[in-house]
Amino acid sequence: MSNEIAVQHGVASHEVHEHHDGHHHHETFITKYVFSQDHKMIAKQFLITGIIWAIIGGLMSVLFRIQLGYPEATFPWLEDIFGHWAKDGKIQPEFFYALGTMHGTILVFFVLTAGLSGTFANLLIPYQIGARDMASPFMNMLSYWFFVLASIILLSSLFVQTGPASGGWTVYPPLSALGDASQGSKIGMDLWLVSLAMFVVSSLLGGLNYVSTILNMRTKGMTMTRMPLTIWALLFTAILGLLSFPVLFSGFILLLFDRHLGTSFYLSDIVLGGNILPNEGGSPILYQHLFWFLGHPEVYIIILPTMGLVSEVMSINARKPIFGYMAMIASMFAIALLAFLVWAHHMFVTGMNPFLGSVFVLLTLLIAVPSAIKVFNWLTTLWRGNIRFTPGMLFCVGFVSMFISGGLTGIFVGNSTLDIHLHDTYFVIAHFHIVMGVSAFMGMFAGVYHWFPKMYGRYMNNTLGYIHFWVTLICAYVIFWPMHYEGFAGMPRRYYDYSGWESFKHFVELNRVISFAAIVSFLVQLLFVFNFFYSIFKGRKVTTLNPWNANTLEWTTPINPGHGNWPGEIPEVHRWAYDYGKDGKDFIPQTEPVSKDESTH
Partner 1 sequence: MTWTEYFVIIIGVLIFVVIFQIAKASEYVSVLKGEKKAFQQNNRINAFLMLVFLVLGLAAAWWCNKLLYKKTLLWLPSASEHGEKIDTMMWITIAITGIVFFVTQILLFWFAYKYQATEKRKAHYYPHNNKLELLWTAVPAIALTVLVSFGLYYWYKITGDAPKDAMEVEITGHQFGWEYRYPGKDGVLGRQHYRLTDAAKGNPLGQDWNDVANHDDLHPSELHLVVDKPVKLIIRSQDVIHDVGLPHFRLKMDAVPGTPTTMWFTPKHTTAKMKELTGNENFVYEISCDQMCGSGHYSMKGTIVVETQEEFDKWINSQKPQYVTAHPDGAVAVAATVAPAAADSVKAAAGTGPKSEH
Interface region with partner 1, contact rule CB under 8 A, candidates 142-150, 204-212, 433-441, 470-478 = 470-478
- Nearer to partner 1 (CB atom), residue 492 or residue 558: 492
Site for partner 1 in 94-133 (CB under 8 A): 94, 97
Contact 505, 108 (CB under 8 A): no
Is 473 a residue that touches partner 1 (CB under 8 A)?
yes
Closest contact distance (angstroms) between CB of 239 and partner 1 is: 23
Please write down the HEC assignment for all residues of 486-513. HHHCCCECCCCCCCCCCCCHHHHHHHHH
Length of the chain equals 601
Q: How crowded is residue 156: how many other Cβ atoms within 10 Å of its Cβ?
A: 13
- Nearer to partner 1 (CB atom), residue 136 or residue 268: 268
Is 545 a residue that touches partner 1 (CB under 8 A)?
no
Among 418, 529, 536, 594, binds partner 1 (CB under 8 A): 418
- Nearer to partner 1 (CB atom), residue 325 or residue 449: 325
Closest contact distance (angstroms) between CB of 90 and partner 1 is: 14
Is 388 a residue that touches partner 1 (CB under 8 A)?
yes
**Cis preceding-peptide flag for 126 (omega within 30 of 0):** no
Residues touching partner 1, count (CB under 8 A) = 136
Interface region with partner 1, contact rule CB under 8 A, candidates 13-21, 151-159, 215-223, 281-289 = 281-289
Burial 523-561 (b: 16+ CB within 10 A, else e): ebbebbbebbeebbeebeebeeebebebbbbbbbbbbeb
Interface region with partner 1, contact rule CB under 8 A, candidates 132-140, 144-152, 305-313, 527-535 = 527-535
Backbone angles phi, psi at 288, to 5 degrees: -60, -40
Closest contact distance (angstroms) between CB of 194 and partner 1 is: 22
Site for partner 1 in 168-207 (CB under 8 A): 168, 172-175, 178, 181-183
Residue 198 burial (C-beta neighbours within 10 Å; 0-12, 13-18, 19+): buried
Is 384 a residue that touches partner 1 (CB under 8 A)?
yes
Is 280 a residue that touches partner 1 (CB under 8 A)?
yes
Calpha distance 132→38 (Å, rounded)? 9
Backbone angles phi, psi at 4, to 5 degrees: -65, -30
> Is the four-CA dihedral 140, 144, 147, 149 of positive or negative sign?
negative
- Nearer to partner 1 (CB atom), residue 120 or residue 432: 432
Site string for partner 1, 210-229 (x = CB under 8 A): --------------------
Among 271, 537, 596, 597, binds partner 1 (CB under 8 A): 271
Among 46, 245, 265, 580, binds partner 1 (CB under 8 A): 580
**Within a 13 Å sphere around the CA of 15, how many CA atoms are in the beta-carbon half?**
5
Is 321 a residue that touches partner 1 (CB under 8 A)?
yes
Is 362 a residue that touches partner 1 (CB under 8 A)?
yes
Interface region with partner 1, contact rule CB under 8 A, candidates 16-24, 211-219, 314-322, 445-453 = 314-322
Q: Where are the beta strands (DSSP E) in 268-334?
A: 271-272, 275-276
Is 409 a residue that touches partner 1 (CB under 8 A)?
yes
Site string for partner 1, 39-78 (x = CB under 8 A): -------------------------------------xx-
Calpha distance 515→205 (Å, rounded)? 39
Calpha distance 405→403 (Å, rounded)? 6
- Nearer to partner 1 (CB atom), residue 144 or residue 432: 432
Site string for partner 1, 484-503 (x = CB under 8 A): -xx-xxxxx-xxxxx-xxxx
Is 83 a residue that touches partner 1 (CB under 8 A)?
no
Among 167, 241, 297, 443, binds partner 1 (CB under 8 A): 167
Is 417 a residue that touches partner 1 (CB under 8 A)?
yes
Helices 187-216 and 119-129: crossing angle in degrees, nearest 10, is 10
Closest CA to 399 of 448, 356, 329: 448
Residue 368 burial (C-beta neighbours within 10 Å; 0-12, 13-18, 19+): middle
Which residues 6+ apart lie within 8 Å of 518 measured at CB? 61, 62, 65, 475, 479
Among 31, 136, 250, 283, binds partner 1 (CB under 8 A): 283
- Nearer to partner 1 (CB atom), residue 14 or residue 259: 259
Is 382 a residue that touches partner 1 (CB under 8 A)?
yes
Is 285 a residue that touches partner 1 (CB under 8 A)?
yes
Residue 271 pairs with which residues in a beta bridge? 276
